Structure 1
Amino acid sequence: MRVALVSPYSYTYPGGVGRHVEALAEGLIGRGDDVRLFAPYDPDDRLARVMHRGVRPEPRPAPSYFVSLGRTVGIPANGAVSNLSFTPHAVSTLGHAVRDGGFDVVHVHEPNAPVVSWVAAEAARVPLVGTFHTYATNGGVQRFVSTMLGARRVYQKLHARIAVSEAARWTAERWYGGNYVVVPNGVDLAAAPSGPKPPADSEHVRLLFVGRAEERKGLPILLRAFEALRGAGIDARLTVAGATPEEVEPYLLEREGVEIRGRVTDGEKSRLLHQADVVCAPSLGGESFGMVLTEAFAAGTPVVCSDIAGYRDVVREGLDGVLVPAGDPAALGEALHALAIDPARRARMARCARERAERFAWPRVAAEIAQVYERAIERAAETAPSRLSHVALRAGLRPADGLPRNPPRRIPSIEPELPGATRRRAFRVARRVGIAAGAAAGVGLAALALQRIGIDSIVHSLLAATPVWVLVAFALMCASMLARAESWHAILRAALPGARVRRRHAARGVMIGVLMSATLPARLGEPSRALIVARRLGRARERLPVVLGTLVSQTLLNLVALAILGTVMFATVGLFRGHEGALALVAAAPFAAAGLVIAAPVVLRRIAPRRFGKIHQVTAKVRRAMVDARRGLEVFRHPRLGSWAAIMQLLAWGVQWLACYTLLVALGLDHRAGIGAAAAVLFAVNVTAVIPATPSNIGVFQAACVAVLSAYGVGHTDAFAYGIILQAVEVATAFALGMPSLVGEGMSWRDLRLRALHASPVELRVPDRSDRRRAKAGA
């Protein structure tokens, strides 16, 4: 049989589909078929790196049956990058080859992917087979592809349709309709290591991750689970293959126990799979099939992977692998811990894995696909059409397979419904709605102010500002940041007496934290600056809770400063007359917060006894957090460091207060709004920024300035202009100090954002090492 295999993806940027098609070609050739593989090919040059965002193609020599379709461009899709060709050369070469190549069957992979697959489907004059590799739940994208781009019409031309898994069949039937047979991806058992695996023990476990450093692949989740596993006393080693150190670095907090191998050859990958005790595949979704799982099975290695649709077709729970909830580092860590302490179980699962791999052996898979080819040829012969029917078939207006119509329809989800998923989904929706509502309110307030006040008036007020005083305010803001850094340095020295805390690290942390707070609609500034310092103090994961606890000390000092500002505000404007009780509450807030932090660990220890399991777990977690926070208050037990930290933190607020007043002078508003108005503005913008809905709290910031300054007799136009200038000075300060600090730390904004998002520690509910030893002794 003469077969044309068509892949839309680059041969030198291999992914799951590309490797599947190449292995299928080898399998069919081994059966005696005449095969040609058509796919794009990117040479290793500068243009290829430019077209793929700096990623180099792999140096893969083309086999004799390969026909190049030219270059590709990398396009983000489904949480990954699709390397597709759109060149006239590809269209011309493939069209002529498919029409005039004398093939018995044309097998198109991903018929919905532009442009190569479409050309093959349109040009074919022989039986046409299509394989669907994708699992996707994004309705908007799939509807656009199926209707606007005509993929559904292309599918009508297929004489047989294959899905590589139930997940891929669900996607195809949901969005494109039709009838599909499931034929899984194959694995080369002959190339897999067949010797005995290295001996395993209960105190040491070798983990392996194979894949790209993409969030969709779940590498950040695995790294957090791995750190928790080592924290639970397991001597674990993690090898990351398929990603470079530069790609993995943004997700790492510390490198101990982690080996990054970068890009590896197929032979090296097989060896790593054989040497590993467990292969980890913590993908978050979007996987139609687990090729790395079948490769692990072929090497005799069990897997721990996410319980997602594409993986459940491969893994038999408890026999050759363990399924855990996707995106749950604690569940992943606990599953790895259970396997790490039970080498006998790992050995049983390894034997089952080798047996399971037989189902996916390429000779068997190639034979199943050849049977599909034969059915396609039979169907094409049975449906010899009239001229009118021929036109309908060529146009894709009727199905070429002759089977009953099966239009796209709603199908129940095949993803597992996890306990509490509805509650978590409702919380996520409520959070997004709240953030969107806050952002809309801020933008709406700004737009309303612009409409009522008038843009011309605001621009005139901005231009009337004295540049020298604006520069003075900018300098004062910078000085305020330095004072805050000095205060935090004293707090860190008290909390970490055995560590060498450098001033420049504390200063960089403060400045980077301000930059992150100014550019993101969430309070990532605090964890960002804690990460910067913790990574400089040895074992980052051990230091991070204490460093985070030191932020409590600064927060309490900030509350004291806000109480002072609030007192000045209440005393200088009549807006709050008759509400003197609010003054007492504001003044008492710092002391109440300090009392809560000090007393909470003692109180929580006495409540929620162990017989109330869930309540005890929650209170224990809160208590540990409070203990870490209380360690951050250690500075107040050292008179010298405590007084210095308080003086510098309050000085920072005082300098910032002076900067706010300087901007009033710059706009000529100091005769109406004096030092009390500056205190009121500083108080208001900090209170409204507790939970920022937009980056830098844009909109709400200006509204707070207008509301406060109006009470001091300042017109709305001047007050709005003041809010714009004040925020501009704060953002300029954040960038002027934060960007050089990021460069000094050798990090990018994206790197720090990823680390901050994945910085929270994971706690495993597992027995500690002493409990395990007692259990062994008892046994």
Structure 2
Amino acid sequence: MKVLIVSGIWPPDVGGPASHAPELAAFLRARGHGVEVVTTAAADPAPQPYPVHHVSRSLPPAARHAAVAALVARRARHADVVYATTMLRRAAVGAAAARRPLVVKVTTDEAYERARRAGLFAGSLVDFQSARGGVRVRALRRTRTLAIRRARHVFFPSAFLRALALDWGLAPERTSVLPNPAPPLPPFEPRAQLRARLGLDGPTLALAGRLTAAKAVPVALEALSRVPGVSLVIAGDGPDRDALERAGAALGLGDRVRFVGGLPRDDVLRLFHAADAALLSSAWENFPHTVVEALAAGAPVIATAVGGVPEVVREGDNGLLVPAGDAAALAAAIERYFADDALRARLRAAAAPSVADHAPERLLGRIEEALREEVARA
């Protein structure tokens, strides 16, 4: 079987699709399948044992979108099936032009994300589903749905997002929930040694991800300002980084907050393992990869109860949950976590076992199975 994987981001980019797409490519190749990738990039991606084709992000958006769709169409003619984890509209157009079956993983409502970025909608993801919106919002929703309906099978990382998407008119039998897999773990040094090497001293939280409005990092910074003696290491980059650094300085956090930029995935896992807990302050989410990564690395998660997060972070079991946008509640959870030694030990002991059933071989195998089925039907 020859598979064309479409992903809008690719290492060294940071984010869920940039972790998932290479992991799936390696898995499929190890299983004897042919793999090619179409992505976008600011510079040539690092060489891989399979072709990685990219469209330059320096192109204007309209030209870039057209170039991606055309590239997908060209490369799909050499494949049996197309699998897309982002750029769903362009993947759908390209797969249709090449007359190849399409399987997708919907990680978010792209119409909502684009409407937020364009300043067309300011409410929640749930509210967006029923809001009438203007012409552009309705066009975003319509093209999103048309693209996803083109797919033969649609995976969702959470039951939360699948439930929303069924209201878009998708056929339930062509959809399924597939949680994000736990990552393979790198070798870990003794934790005390690792903390010393990473410069972690005293109670420390770790936050990782692309620094955008969705992550609501200002809420995390405000919460941190209310809990003296606790530090935060932020791994990731994005359009909000400069503003967040200024916000941390304005709150007087000083060296209690460190921005270390984008890190390779193994280094993020080491950071989670060394930290006392992972922090997720998001205003909206589907099922963030970093939650599974943190738990797999042995770090409990203090998180906002948004989207599919409560499907993996369970209050008082492997983490603590608070309402979104409530810095006081987040601060109280952080304070509670560090004040209760027994709670902290119990949550840490439960973290890795809580994602034991997220083994990559099992979950990526389900994607392989779906791809095989659609090739057989084609």
Shorter-chain TM range is 0.7 to 0.9
- Cα distance in 2, alignment partners of residues 357 and 297 from structure 1: 7
Matched with 1:237 is 231
- Aligned partner letter, 1:241: A
Q: Is the 8 A contact 1:302 1:321 kept in 2?
A: yes
Query: Which residue of 2 is the match for residue 186 of structure 1?
Result: 181
Structure 2: how far apart are the matches of 1:133 and 1:358? 22
SS at match of 2:315: coil
* 3-state SS of 1:118 partner: helix
Residue 223 of structure 1 deviates from its aligned partner by: 1.1
Could you tell me which residue of structure 2 aligns to residue 248 of structure 1?
A: 244
Question: For 1:84 and 1:278, how far apart are their aligned partners in 2?
Answer: 42
* Mapped partners of 1:272, 1:40: distance in 2: 28
Question: 1:106 aligns to what?
Answer: 82
Code of the aligned partner of 2:283:
L
Aligned to 1:97: 75
Query: Is the 2:15–2:210 contact (alpha carbons within 8 Å) kept by the matching residues of 1?
Result: no
Partner AA of 1:366 in structure 2: L
> In the superposition, relative to structure 1, how do residues 85 and 349 fare at CA in structure 2: closer, same or farther (>3 Å)?
farther
The answer as to whether partners of 1:71 and 1:85 remain within 8 angstroms in 2 is: no
Deviation readout 1:567-596 (Å, 9 max, x if unpaired): xxxxxxxxxxxxxxxxxxxxxxxxxxxxxx
Shift of 1:307: 0.6
1:347 lines up with 2:345 in the alignment: yes
Give the aligned partner of residue 159 of structure 1.
152
2-side partners of 1:212 and 1:332: how far apart?
20
Confirm or deny: 8 A CA contact 2:76 2:95 kept in the other structure: no
Deviations 1:127-185 (A, max 9, x none): 321221114432446642343x3x43333332212112123213322234222101122
Indicate whether 1:41 and 2:34 are aligned: no
1:272 aligns with 2:250: no
Q: Name the amino acid aligned to 1:250.
A: R
Q: Which string of whole-angstrom CA distances, capped at 9 and with x for unpartnered residues, describes residues 459-516 of structure 1?
A: xxxxxxxxxxxxxxxxxxxxxxxxxxxxxxxxxxxxxxxxxxxxxxxxxxxxxxxxxx
* Partner residue in 2 for 1:144: 139
Amino acid in the other structure paired with 1:2 = K
**Residues 155 and 265 of structure 1, relative CA distance in 2, 3 Å threshold:** closer
Alignment-mate amino acid for residue 242 of structure 2: E
Matched with 1:317 is: 315
Give the match's secondary structure for 1:175: coil
Out of 204, 211, 226, the position equivalent to 1:206 is 204
Task: Flag the structure with higher helix content.
Answer: 1
User: Equivalents in 1 of 2:137, 2:95: separation in Å?
Assistant: 19
User: Relative to structure 1, is the Cα distance of residues 207 and 177 closer, same or farther in structure 2, using a 3 angstrom cutoff?
Assistant: same
Match of 2:170 among 161, 173, 177: 177
Indicate how the Cα distance of structure 1 residues 246 and 158 shifts in structure 2: closer, same or farther if over 3 A, else same.
Answer: closer
Structure 1 residue 17 displacement after superposition: 2.0
Which letter does structure 1 place at the counterpart of 2:73?
G
Decide whether aligned partners of structure 1 residues 165 and 143 sit closer, same or farther in structure 2, where only a CA change above 3 A counts: farther
Listed as ranges, the gaps of 5+ residues in structure 1 are 45-59, 76-82, 382-779
1:168 aligns with 2:164: no
| Other-structure match for 1:328 | 326
How far the C-alpha of 1:119 sits from its partner, in A, is 2.8
More contact order relative to length (CA 8 Å, sep ≥ 6): 2
Alignment of 1:606-617 (within 5 A): none
Q: CA deviation at 1:90?
A: 3.4
Please tell me whether residue 259 in structure 1 is matched to residue 252 in structure 2.
Answer: no
Amino acid at match of 1:266: R
Q: Structure 2 CA distance, aligned partners of 1:372 and 1:353?
A: 30
Question: What secondary structure is seen at the aligned counterpart in 2 of 1:187?
Answer: coil
Cα root mean square deviation, aligned:
2.9
CA contact (8 A) 1:211 1:242 kept: yes
Q: Provide TM-score, normalisation by structure 1.
A: 0.41
Q: Does 1:71 align with 2:56?
A: yes
The separation in 2 between residues aligned to 1:299 and 1:74, in whole angstroms, is 38
Tell me how far apart the structure 1 counterparts of residues 93 and 211 of structure 2 sit (CA, whole Å): 32
Q: CA deviation at 1:74?
A: 9.5
The one-letter amino acid paired with 1:184 is P
What pairs with 1:538-549 in structure 2 (closer than 5 Å)? Answer: none
Structure 1 residues 315 and 74: CA distance shift in structure 2, 3 A? farther
Aligned positions of 1:699-778 closer than 5 A:
none
Question: Hey, what does 1:480 align to over in structure 2?
Answer: none
Distance 1:124 1:343, change over 3 A: farther
Tell me the residue number matched to 1:6.
6
Q: Is the 8 A contact 2:76 2:82 kept in 1?
A: yes
Unmatched 5+ residue regions in structure 2? 110-124, 196-200
Structure 2 contact 14–209 (Cα < 8 Å) conserved = no
Partner Cα distance (2:217, 2:150) in 1: 40
Deviation at 1:327, TM superposition (A): 0.7
The structure with the largest strand share of the pair is: 2
Q: 2:157 corresponds to which letter in structure 1?
A: V
Q: Deviations over 1:700-725 (max 9, x none)?
A: xxxxxxxxxxxxxxxxxxxxxxxxxx
Query: Are 2:181 and 2:358, in contact at CA under 8 Å, matched by a contact in 1?
Result: yes
Distance in 1, matches of 2:369 and 2:80, equals 13
Please list, as runs of the form range in 1=range in 2, the aligned pairs for 1:444-459 lying within 5 A after superposition. none
Moved more, 6-15 or 164-173: 6-15
Q: Secondary structure at the match of 1:318?
A: coil
- Tell me how far apart the structure 2 counterparts of residues 132 and 18 of structure 1 sit (CA, whole Å): 14
Residue in 2 that maps onto 1:132: 106
Kept after mapping to 2: 8 A contact 1:155/1:176: no
Distance 1:320 1:12, change over 3 A: same
Number of residue pairs the alignment of both structures matches: 344
Residues of 2 paired with 1:302 and 1:122: CA distance? 43
Q: Counterpart in 1 of 2:118?
A: none
Which amino acid in 1 is paired with 2:162?
Answer: R
What percent of counterpart residues are identical?
Answer: 28
Aligned to 1:292: 290
Q: Distance in 2 between matches of 1:366 and 1:4?
A: 15
Query: CA offsets, 1:194-242, max 9 Å, x none?
Result: 5654499xx9411112133334312111111111111xxxx21221221
| 2:355 match | 357
Q: 1:294-443, aligned counterparts within 5 Å?
A: 294-378=292-376, 380=377
Paired position in structure 2 for 1:15: 15
User: Could you state the TM-score of these two structures normalised by the residue count of structure 2?
Assistant: 0.81
Residues 17 and 167 of structure 1: CA distance in aligned 2, closer, same or farther (over 3 Å) = farther
**Alpha-carbon distance, 1:331 to partner:** 0.9
Offset, 1:98: 0.8
Distance 1:111 1:247, change over 3 A: closer
Letter in 1 for 2:176: V
Instruction: Please identify, of 312-321 and 124-133, the stretch whose mean Cα deviation from structure 2 is larger.
Output: 124-133
TM-superposed deviation, 1:359: 2.4
For 1:124 and 1:264, locate their aligned partners in 2 and report how far apart those are by CA, in whole Å. Answer: 37
Residue identity opposite 2:167 in structure 1: R
- In structure 2, C-alpha distance between the alignment counterparts of 1:289 and 1:8, rounded to whole Å: 18
